[in-house]
C-alpha cells in the first residue's frame, strides 16, 4: 500500500533538511540568477513577479528527493504574511505544486535542530524553535530578543532562526532536477513604508542568488527620479539605477556571507506634460483674467455690462473639469496629483467668485477686494504649478 504524501514527508523531512542546509548555506553556488519585476498597484501595494534560474547540485539531489520522481527545492524565503494572488509556474507556464505551510514547517523544524546540533547540541531550545515557527508579525520582536541572546553560543542557529521568525521557506515540488530550471512566481504584497512619492521595497532576494536584477514598472504619467538598491541595516548604497526612467533596472551581485537588509528605494515624480503643464497654463490664464481688469479696467463700469467678461471667467471651469475629472487614473497618480489639483481648484474658485461679485454688481470696494484677493490666489497657484512643472521630468519614454 502506497503511503500518504504526508507520511512520506514525515519520513523524509530529516534527510531533506540535510539537503536544505547545504543549499541554503551556499545559495549563490546553485541559484544563478534572480530577476524581479515590481509593479506599483497603489501607494500601499505592489505586485512582485520573480523568476529564479537555478541548478540543483548533483550531490544534493538525492537529499531533496521526496519520492520517486519528486524533489523539494527551497526556491526563496518569503515574509510571513498571507500570499495574495499567488502564482507559481515553470518554464512552460504550467502551474507547479508547492508544500503547504505546515509541511514546510516540518522541514524547517528539522533544519533548525540540525544547525543547532552543529553549533551546540547541549542547548535545550525546543520551545524556542516552536515559537520561531509559529511567530507572526506581532510577536516577532519578542522571539527575536530570545534568539539574539544565543548569538554568541550558537551563531548559525541564531542566524537561521532569525530568518525563519520573519519569513518562511517557499518549497516547490519538481519532477525534474537533472537540468537547469527557471521557475516563476508572483504575488501581491503591502508596503512597509507607504508614501506618496518615495517608496521602499524589501529585496531579500538580493542575497539569494549569484546575480540579482530588479525592475520597477512605474505607473503611467510618472517617472522614477532616482532608484537605489540600499542596505537598510547600514544605509550604504549598493547599486544605482538610471534617473528619470519609466522602467528603471538595478543589477547587483552580493558577496557571500555578508549580512545585510537590502531594499530598493524609489523616488517618484510626475511627468510634466500630462497634468502639470496644462494645469499651469490654465492657472496663468485665470491669473491674467483677474489681474488685467483689476489694473486696466473700471470694474464698476464693467459690472454694468459684464456678460462677456463673466463668460470668459466661467469658461475656465470647463478646462478645470477636464483636468480634474479624468477616468482610469492610477491610484498613486491620483494621490500625488491631489495637492496640485487643489492649487488649480483654488484658482478656479477665485475666478468663479470674481465673476459672481461682478454679475451681482457689488460695490466698488468689494469688487476691488475680491478681484485683488482672487488675483493673488491665482498667481500663487500658477507659480506653484509652474515651479513643479519646471522641475518635473519630461514625458518621453525610455528606449
CB neighbours of 262 closer than 8 A, spacing ≥ 6? 202, 203, 204, 206, 207, 229, 230, 231, 232, 238, 252, 254
CB neighbours of 146 closer than 8 A, spacing ≥ 6? 128, 131
Q: How confident is the model at residue 78 (pLDDT cuts 50, 70, 90)?
A: very high
Using only C-alpha atoms, what is the Rg of the chain?
A: 30
Q: Would you list the domain boundaries of the chain? A: 1-37+47-185, 191-269, 272-391
C-alpha cell read off for 32? 544563478
Phi/psi of residue 154, nearest 5 degrees: -140, 75
Q: Is the pLDDT of residue 96 over 80?
A: yes
Lowest mean pLDDT among 174-183, 204-213, 308-317, 322-331: 308-317
CB neighbours of 107 closer than 8 A, spacing ≥ 6? 9, 13, 16, 17, 20, 72, 99, 169, 171
C-alpha cell read off for 264? 530598493
SS3 assignment, position 346: helix
Dump pLDDT digits (tens) for 343-368: 888 888 888 788 777 777 777 788 88
Vertex 90: Cα angle to 86 and 96 (nearest 5): 55
Distance, CA of 58 to chain centre: 37
How far apart are alpha carbons 38 and 282 in whole angstroms?
A: 35
| pLDDT of amino acid 318 | 52
Distance, CA of 152 to chain centre: 35
Q: How confident is the model at residue 67 (pLDDT cuts 50, 70, 90)?
A: confident
Which of 248-253's residues contact partners 24+ apart within 8 Å by CB, and which partners?
A: 248/215, 248/216, 248/218, 248/224, 249/213, 249/214, 249/215, 249/216, 250/213, 250/214, 251/211, 251/212, 251/213, 252/206, 252/211, 252/212, 253/210, 253/211, 253/212
How far apart are alpha carbons 117 and 379 in whole angstroms?
A: 73
SS3 assignment, position 101: helix
Element housing 66 (H / E) = strand 65-67
C-alpha cell read off for 130? 516552536
- Sequential DSSP letters for 330-341: -HHHHHHHHHHH
Which has the closest alpha carbon to 35: 255, 185, 244? 185
Q: How confident is the model at residue 220 (pLDDT cuts 50, 70, 90)?
A: confident
Q: What is the pTM of this model?
A: 0.83
How far apart are alpha carbons 55 and 29 in whole angstroms?
A: 9
β partners of residue 394: none
How far apart are alpha carbons 143 and 165 in whole angstroms?
A: 7
Q: Where are the beta strands (DSSP E) in 153-285?
A: 167-174, 181-190, 198-202, 211-217, 222-231, 237-240, 249-252, 262-270
Q: How confident is the model at residue 302 (pLDDT cuts 50, 70, 90)?
A: low
| pLDDT of amino acid 325 | 55
Arithmetic mean of pLDDT over the chain: 85
Dump pLDDT digits (tens) for 37-51: 999 998 888 999 999
Answer yes or no: are the C-beta atoms of 224 and 266 closer than 8 Å: yes
Mean pLDDT computed over 194-205: 77
Q: How many CB atoms lie within 10 A of CB 391?
A: 12
How far apart are alpha carbons 156 and 257 in whole angstroms?
A: 12
Amino acid at each position: 500500500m502506497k503511503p500518504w504524501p504526508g507520511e512520506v514527508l514525515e519520513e523524509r523531512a530529516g534527510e531533506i533538511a540535510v539537503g536544505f542546509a547545504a543549499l541554503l548555506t551556499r545559495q549563490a553556488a546553485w541559484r544563478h540568477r534572480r530577476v524581479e519585476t515590481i509593479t506599483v498597484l497603489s501607494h500601499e501595494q505592489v505586485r512582485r513577479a520573480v523568476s529564479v534560474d537555478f541548478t540543483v547540485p548533483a550531490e544534493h539531489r538525492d537529499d531533496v528527493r521526496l519520492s520517486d520522481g519528486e524533489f523539494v527545492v527551497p526556491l526563496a524565503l518569503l515574509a510571513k504574511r498571507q500570499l495574495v494572488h499567488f502564482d507559481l509556474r515553470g518554464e512552460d507556464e504550467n502551474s507547479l505544486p508547492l508544500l503547504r505551510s505546515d509541511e514546510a514547517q516540518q522541514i524547517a523544524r528539522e533544519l533548525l535542530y540540525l544547525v543547532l546540533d552543529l553549533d551546540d547540541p547541549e542547548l535545550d531550545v525546543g520551545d524556542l524553535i516552536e515559537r520561531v515557527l509559529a511567530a507572526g508579525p506581532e510577536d516577532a520582536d519578542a522571539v527575536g530578543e530570545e534568539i539574539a541572546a544565543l548569538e554568541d553560543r550558537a551563531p548559525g542557529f541564531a542566524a537561521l532562526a532569525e530568518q525563519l521568525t520573519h519569513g518562511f521557506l517557499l518549497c516547490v515540488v519538481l519532477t525534474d532536477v537533472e537540468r537547469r530550471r527557471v521557475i516563476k512566481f508572483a504575488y501581491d504584497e503591502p508596503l512597509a513604508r507607504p508614501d506618496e512619492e518615495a517608496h521602499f521595497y524589501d529585496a531579500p532576494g538580493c542575497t539569494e542568488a549569484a546575480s540579482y536584477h530588479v525592475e520597477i514598472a512605474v505607473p503611467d504619467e510618472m517617472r522614477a527620479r532616482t532608484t537605489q538598491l540600499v542596505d537598510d541595516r547600514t544605509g550604504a548604497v549598493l547599486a544605482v539605477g538610471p534617473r528619470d526612467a519609466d522602467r528603471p533596472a538595478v543589477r547587483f551581485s552580493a558577496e557571500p556571507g555578508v549580512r545585510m537588509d537590502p531594499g530598493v528605494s524609489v523616488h517618484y515624480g510626475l511627468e510634466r506634460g500630462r497634468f502639470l503643464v496644462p494645469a499651469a497654463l490654465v492657472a496663468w490664464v485665470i491669473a491674467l483674467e483677474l489681474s488685467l481688469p483689476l489694473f486696466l479696467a473700471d470694474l464698476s463700469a464693467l459690472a454694468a455690462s459684464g456678460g462677456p467678461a463673466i463668460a470668459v471667467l466661467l469658461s475656465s471651469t470647463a478646462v478645470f473639469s477636464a483636468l480634474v475629472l479624468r477616468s482610469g487614473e492610477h491610484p498613486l497618480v491620483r494621490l500625488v496629483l491631489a495637492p496640485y489639483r487643489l492649487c488649480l481648484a483654488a484658482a478656479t474658485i477665485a475666478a468663479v467668485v470674481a465673476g459672481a461679485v461682478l454679475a451681482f454688481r457689488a460695490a466698488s470696494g468689494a469688487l476691488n477686494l475680491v478681484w485683488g484677493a482672487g488675483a493673488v490666489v491665482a498667481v500663487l497657484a500658477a507659480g506653484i504649478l509652474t515651479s513643479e512643472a519646471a522641475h518635473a521630468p519630461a514625458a518621453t519614454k525610455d528606449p
